[in-house]
Amino acid sequence: MLQQSTPLVPCLSAAQAADLVSWTSTDVARAIKYTAPLIVPMDVASKVTCTHATIVECTDATTYDQAIDALNGGAEGVVIRTDQAPLLAELGADMVASRAIVAVADGQDVPAHLQPAGVLVECEHIPSEKSLQKYLKSMETSVSGRNVYVRAPFETLEHIRGVAQQGATAVVGTSQLCMDQSRDLDYVDALLCMIQSDRADGLYPTLVVSDTCSASLGLVYSSVESVRASLTTGSAHYQSRKRGLWHKGATSGATQRVVQIRLDCDQDALEYRVEQHAGERSVGFCHLVDRDSCFGGLGGLAKLEKTLRARKQSAPPGSYTARLFGDPKLLSAKIREEAQELIDAQEHEHIAFEAADLLYFVLARCIGAGVGLADIERSLDAKSKKVTRRKGDAKPAYSQAMPAKAPPAPATQLDASAPICLPVHKLSETSADKQSELLRRPAIRTNEVMDRVRPILAAVKERGDDAVLSYTAQFDRVQLSSAVRLPPFQSSSDRQAMDPRVREAIDVAYANIRRFHEAQKAPVKTTSRSSHAAWAPGEDVMEITSMPGVVCTRFPRAIERVGIYVPGGSAVLPSTALMLGVPAQVAGCSTIVLATPPRSDGSIAPEVLYVADKVQASCIVCAGGAQAVGAMAYGTESVPKVDKIAGPGNQYVTAAKMLVQNEVDAQVSIDMPAGPSEVLVVADESAEPVFVASDLLSQAEHGPDSQVVLVGIDLSDAKLQAIETEVDRQARALPRVDVVRQAIDKSVTMLVNTREEAITWSNRYAPEHLILHTTEPEQLVPLVQHAGSVFVGAWSPESCGDYASGTNHTLPTYGFARQYGGVSTSTFQKYITAQTLDADGLRKLGPHVIALAECEGLEAHANAVRVRLQQLSPSSLPSTSSSS
């Protein structure tokens, strides 16, 4: 529907239509271009649309195709008389309601079957109030916004004001208008004849917005004089309350090109839409030289456009952005790549992430070609005005070369009544290739994830806190003023918000976890003469005599600065804070940085704050994902740099940890790689089906990529059926049953004949959690070679290890139990070795060291021993290889 709030709409007079070139260069033409649509006759419409917003007036000869061509060409609407009924009928009710203004003679009714976008009343004289109210009421103008236009012999400003006061819009010929008050109808005076101000100085509040993305730049004031100057010059002028008429940017260079000036619907405020230029010092509209807007910096696409424009001008040679602008093939390939990734994305966050990547490369392509967001928006606006469109099918090159992928539609997703059960295989009937396939975890697109994470890490490394806060706003949808909280973390309100039962449970878990991890600091061990008197009592020092006179020692030292990552946001995970914070505290780390994503209101769960206080964390980084890992790895203005990062997380956290540990500049290590959670349950005929099913489902509910494995030892059909029945029954009662279905589809039951086969399969799989539901399960534990943690017997649910038994729940997944153990006290320590040789020890060992050093060609190494032996016993010094 046509929308405009000006008290008048100019109509191109015959004289100006006859000489368009001359007229479009006049001040009046330019002013109309910035402020209102122009009614033009059909025969000149195509010549005017390129410079002005237009409403095209149809003639008796106008055909349906011509009217459609005018609308497709960008006209806001068309004026059609009621006696052109065939044309109105061809356009149809929807088109008439959205784009047609029906012209009637004063006093003539609008046909009842028509609901046009507006009515144009043709009057021989200035219409009476009663006459106009008839049309205003039928159009419901005051609430619908459908305009009543009045074409009459307007001669004075009072005529226009009188019509506008009733709610109608005057149609005035362009030949009657001027810009210098030399005639009775000055265009600026007429444009502003209805504007009101409640200020003593009579100025009008004016909102200034950017032509790009409609970003708000600031609030100023205008006057008739400033509006006139803006329309005449095309450069924004305002009315300063201190300095009078103010040409924006005249001294700073940060000028504004006027794109459009609009009045609001109540006629008491203005909006200036401008193209903002930067000055020598000022980057934008604000008097603060580093701000684009008085309300702060730009965001989203507008910020990206500004960044790309700046990089195009001054990107460092060899930088990625410079490569994009200088290598069309690379940019083209990236656009195709990101488009495909967007097509493949399924989840909300992933779709948003891929769309953002694609927009980055698309906008780089546009900026490189001199096309900005404002150009794109104008093209979109022009397309929105078209009333006929192509069919819209994909071109054959795309529809044939890239056939649509079959959508993933497993039976469990389509049929909620289908049983929830693990696919069953018998080891004796499974080929070696099939076994290898069953042992593989669900695929993770590691390279793609890392490609998304790299720019995040680079931004955090370069911009510090600003990047962390920006990504937190983007991914967690939380605007924070600071990325860090300092101790004490719990306020009185946080303490009151905690359930006393949860506080007691945390205290019990803390005590058990601390007891187990304190025990890992073994007392002094020695096989030699006592040389450890200076060691602290209970310190884990190993000392042996490797040969007479040679004492070797190993002793631990805490890693001074460690970062622990606790997943969060909507989840509350104090258990993970305990599992990471307690070992770091026991190890004696002097700086413990805890990172966790904030909740939707910007807060951190009080339970996590309670644990942070108990483990004496140095600070909390209120951020998650790759940006939190980057902040801890590199350090920022407020986040201390750490030497090691530990903790679980999603694929982006894992990718970030792996990237920073391989970056020499970061100088940070990690605990272990991580993948989706998993469990392997070994069960024989003695197993309780209810317990087995509950243990399998406790991991399946973690996420759709989680995997659960049941290894059945000589199970009867009845026992297997009982377990499957329990899995289905318990799963359907879970809130996350849909997630469980997806995880179960990726899982497996492997039936074996013997206990040895069961443990062999488990060792090949190397599970994060291994649960033994068998007779004499403790006898199987010594056979375990690869597992994160083992849960022995029916009364040892994995949940106890997850929360409070004392062992650690941060464990290797995805088969990494072959190379890594779970988090322990030693995760937060490193070991230093020392050796002490006396003279006799050097006499015995020295000749062998010289021989090996000379074998490797390292003569200085050999000489460091030789000079000592020479002092001790020159006669026993071995000859050098060169003298022999």
* Token couple for 194: 């209805």
- For the segment 587-608, the average pLDDT, to the nearest whole number, is 95
| pLDDT over threshold 50, residue 529 | no
pLDDT in tens, 6-51: 899 999 998 888 888 889 889 999 999 999 999 999 988 888 866 6
Pairwise CA distance, residues 828 & 587, whole Å = 6
Decide which of 534 and 487 is more confident: 487
- For the segment 109-135, the average pLDDT, to the nearest whole number, is 90
CATH number of 8-192: 3.20.20.70
Burial class (CB within 10 angstroms; exposed 0-12, middle 13-18, buried 19+) of 680 = buried
Residue 400: per-residue pLDDT:
52
The pLDDT confidence band at residue 572, using thresholds 50, 70 and 90, is: confident
- Assigned fold of 449-531+539-670: Rossmann fold (3.40.50)
Q: How far lies 102's CA from each of 57, 87, 96, 657, in Å?
A: 10, 11, 8, 67
Q: How many residues does the chain have?
A: 884
CATH number of 301-387: 1.10.287.1080
- For the segment 156-176, the average pLDDT, to the nearest whole number, is 93
Equal CATH topology for 449-531+539-670 and 678-806: yes
Average confidence score pLDDT of the chain: 89
Residue 131: per-residue pLDDT:
86
pLDDT in tens, 315-357: 777 667 788 888 888 889 889 888 988 988 888 888 888 898 8
Judged by DSSP in three states, 647 sits in coil
| pLDDT over threshold 80, residue 605 | yes
Residue spans of alpha helices (H) in 427-554: 432-439, 446-463, 465-475, 492-497, 500-519
- Assigned fold of 678-806: Rossmann fold (3.40.50)
Helix 373-384 to helix 348-368 angle, to the nearest 10 degrees?
110
Question: Which position among 341, 678, 726, 768 bears the catalytic label?
Answer: 768
Residue 207 main-chain phi, psi, to 5 deg: -90, 125
Task: List all residues 6 or more positions away from 271 whose beta carbon is below 8 Å from its beta carbon.
Answer: 206, 207, 208, 209, 260, 261, 262, 263, 264
Pairing of strands 237-240, 244-247: antiparallel
In terms of Cα–Cα distance, which of 872, 794, 793, 810 is closest to 840?
872
Pairwise CA distance, residues 303 & 321, whole Å = 15
Judged by DSSP in three states, 393 sits in coil
- Assigned fold of 204-298: Ubiquitin-like (UB roll) (3.10.20)
| pLDDT over threshold 80, residue 760 | yes
pLDDT in tens, 518-527: 999 866 555 5
Report the DSSP beta bridge partners of residue 789: 769
**Contact of 612 with 581, CB cutoff 8 Å:** yes
* Token couple for 782: 């010594």
The pTM of the whole model exceeds 0.75: no
Where do the domains of the chain lie? 8-192, 204-298, 301-387, 449-531+539-670, 678-806, 838-871
Residue 55 main-chain phi, psi, to 5 deg: -120, 120
Would you call the peptide bond into 648 cis, given omega within 30 degrees of 0 as the criterion? no
Question: What is the four-CA torsion angle of 611, 614, 619, 625, rounded to 10 degrees?
Answer: -30
Among the ranges given (171-180, 572-581, 874-883), the one the predictor scored with the smallest mean pLDDT = 874-883
Task: List all residues 6 or more positions away from 383 whose beta carbon is below 8 Å from its beta carbon.
Answer: none
Question: Which position among 52, 702, 769, 786 bears the catalytic label?
Answer: 769
pLDDT in tens, 402-451: 444 444 444 434 357 788 999 999 999 999 999 999 998 877 777 778 88
**Contact of 425 with 751, CB cutoff 8 Å:** yes
**Contact of 68 with 77, CB cutoff 8 Å:** no
- For the segment 728-748, the average pLDDT, to the nearest whole number, is 91
769 is catalytic: yes
The sheet carrying 216-222 orders its strands as 216-222, 204-210, 270-276, 256-263
Pairwise CA distance, residues 238 & 253, whole Å = 16
pLDDT in tens, 774-804: 999 999 999 999 999 999 999 999 999 999 9
Pairwise CA distance, residues 283 & 281, whole Å = 6
Pairwise CA distance, residues 878 & 857, whole Å = 16
Residue 430: per-residue pLDDT:
95
